[in-house]
A = this chain, B = another copy of it.
Amino acid sequence: MINKVAITGGTHGNELTGVYLIKKWQEQPNLVHRENFETLLIHTNPKAIKACRRYIDKDLNRSFQTTQLNEEHDHYEAKRAYELNTMLGPKGSKNPKVDFIVDLHSTTANMGLSLVVSSQSSLTWDAVRYLCAKEPKLHVYRWMGDEEDAFVDSIAPHGFAIEVGAIPQGVLRANLFTQTAQLIYHLLDFIQRYNKHKNIPTNQNPIEIYDHVKLLDYPRDANGDITAMVHEQRQDRDYQKITKGDPLFYTLAEKTIYYEEEEPLYPLFINEAAYYEKGFAMCLTRKITLT
């Protein structure tokens, strides 16, 4: 039984889709009310939202390491992670405050409607299958991640992040705003049916997912500054296969750099603004079928 679902937004304060969906539903709670569980609406990073910045001191969505959640910290996002874990977790508990977290993000990459799933829970994956059946445009990126970079949704037993794009930081785009809302309504419907029937009225067909392989950085100089940008023939082609010899980067000195890997893979998060400082230009994934 799922008793409490948390919809969280503004984990990155300049990703306005989540910020304003939470605000919308705070004003119209009936839209996210379902009869057999409670829905919580939470702005996870109020100071960053106010400043319209990704973060104040550090990336909140990489701040949920179990070891660190048990200590108090000086910088803002670590404090918020501690508070959120107290409010919604605690992480790893058999009796957490909420059962499911869906964390709302946007990306400057052309990711359309995407889920980022780092959970192994079968309920989470049943929800993913249900959403794939309801929304054929949906893409699923599985990144088991690592404890070092643990996400907001890792403090509940079930959950994932929604990533929509392309949306610039600090901007709302009406079409993706509406589509994200619709995805949440499907998710809440799924949980309601799950609670009612205790079986999962879902798609048992195989689904295609994009499984994380590795991160790929920009070419950089000795100071760590980028010396090339994503090639225009790769820009916006998230979820499209890249094959050895395809143009990948274009340098400031006007040279094309080609993809060199033997294995064709599927790039995601291509040219995401927030990842310049993290040191990657895209994620490379393998497309697999989950049965």
Contacts and interface: CB of A to CB of B under 8 A. Distances in A.
Interface of A: 20, 23-24, 27-28, 52-53, 108, 166-175, 177-178, 225-226, 229-232, 235, 250, 252-253, 271, 273-274, 276-277
Copies in the assembly, this chain? 2
B23 A252 contact: yes
Contacts of A253: 24, 27-28
Contact of A231 (B28, B174, B231, B232): B174
A250 B174 contact: yes
Contacts of A173: 229-230, 232, 235, 271
B170 A169 contact: yes
30 contacts: A20-B226, A20-B229, A20-B252, A23-B252, A24-B252, A24-B253, A27-B252, A27-B253, A28-B253, A53-B53, A108-B168, A108-B170, A108-B171, A166-B168, A168-B171, A168-B273, A169-B169, A170-B273, A170-B276, A171-B271, A171-B273, A171-B276, A172-B226, A172-B230, A172-B271, A173-B271, A174-B230, A174-B231, A175-B232, A175-B235
A166 B168 CA distance: 9
Nearest to A181: B254
